[in-house]
Structure 1
Amino acid sequence: MRNVDIKKYKVLENVQLSSKPTLETFNESDKKLKKELEKIREELGDFQDTLYAHGKYSVLICLQGMDTAGKDSLIREIFKDFNARGVVVHSFKVPTELERKHDYLWRHYIALPAKGKFGVFNRTHYENVLVTRVHPEYIMGEHIPGILSVDDIDDAFWAKRFEQINNFEKHIAENGTLIYKFYLHLSKEEQRQRLLRRLDLKEKNWKFSPGDLKERKLWDTYQECYEDAINKTSKKHAPWYVVPADNKKGARVIVASILLQELKKYKDIKEPELDDEIKANLEMYKNQLESE
């Protein structure tokens, strides 16, 4: 089973997204990559059972990427062997009226995984420094004191928001949440091809929105915002990984392998031992059941 080189993807210093590859196939066929993923996700499923029994940590996986980057299918394929009770996926859309009546991190905080569980954020709290930075007018819907117009949303505002996000992640990490953040790095040409497939295939038409084309025109701006967000918030306790996403099966192997390798470093995560009294009477309990 492949152990990917984590250092290739982990953000340990400032990165330039334009210099990062968007394609990784490991020179393997899609069929072989699919087989590799099956082995890795089986081990991840076993780890989740142990995490649940241990009950002292939770795991938060954050997925970000441009439209069509493959977030939904990656979630479906990587967590296929998990016990359904052990993983919860949240796909964050436009904030509701209730969510706007709270601070922007509130809806993410209440969605955090409980101890013993995996939580997956499909689009995350980083939308609040990505889409809102590209479209600062959205901030006005948050009714923040002192923000009277878009002109008030300056560099200091974004610096403060990055600080708040870093503090949020530091707080939950110190209380037992293991955080892994993945940016699915898609090329503009591959996005074009995937959007065309949505139009060409009738069963995929429902995924297409004219708004996808409007956002695509802002590609370079989004790349700048992603790069800035990643560089300002990749921390030891909450690292970012830039994952080539032009080949979906390759991206899934990378994400799953990184998760398995990183989680296995926590040697204290193991199934609890039975107390001495129960352990001493195991044979008696077995005899009781066999004699029924």
Structure 2
Amino acid sequence: MSNTTLHNENVSVTLKSLGAELTSIKDASGTEYLWQGNPEFWSGQAPVLFPIVGCLRNGTATIGDNKTCSFGRHGLARRLEFDLVSSSDTSITYSLKANDKTKEQYPYDFELQMTYELTEHGVKVSHTVINHDSVVMPYCVGGHPAFNCPVFENESFEDYIVEFEQPENAACAQLTEDGLINNADRVSVLENEAVIPVRHSLFYKDALVFDALKSRKVALKHKKTGHGILVSFHDFDYLGVWSSANDGPFVALEPWSGTSTCSDEDDVFEHKRGVRFLQSGESETLSFSIEIL
């Protein structure tokens, strides 16, 4: 595993080749905005989710021509070493290619390239999925960046808000104990509102999963000073907002192209909500950006 730091005059971003994962986002003063993975709460930081988001029912599904795929939560990319393709002071690209071991879980000749490019005050995160196989390849992809909340020691978790780009009416489906989405059990979270006051009890039943947002920008910020993080996710249809149920001092803002298996879905991968399809030889790039406010 190797670490690489990108920097300009306003921001520095560090990444590791294991999982092609963000490990640091700092402003010019050295203030850290990315969660640092304290295992007391959650050891992750910003895992890359591929080729599923969330969980499959019983960890498996049928896929392709009567084949089977099997994954733990959020797929296989987060646990694997990526190869470095290219890097400069302000951008880096990693690649993960299928091998015999990955094909035991996901029977396709895939490539996932992760590119991180600094912007003026943040970073653009791009997921390029390439189908090197001879058959159609279904997949989901997503991000899971978690941010310090609070950012500064003299603040509290409850000093922060999650603010959407525009007022929303949102009822979030509850998650089951095994991480599946129960569409028959939905709880109203926003009623023509744009702001959710952050509190730990929001996450005692796992993530808030938003599946019908108009907004494509969401901020985690201090309700008085306005400092924090803005995530723009125009390429993604779903958003997860999560913190650990043991009162972790962080909030994750997670752009997703799909979700866990839903209560009203069968166990055919291609039937899952949000699944994307690549023809043989095709590629597709989905990006989101993180900006320091």
- TM-score, scaled relative to structure 1: 0.22
* Rg larger for: 1
> Greater helix share, 1 or 2?
1
- TM-score, scaled relative to structure 2: 0.22
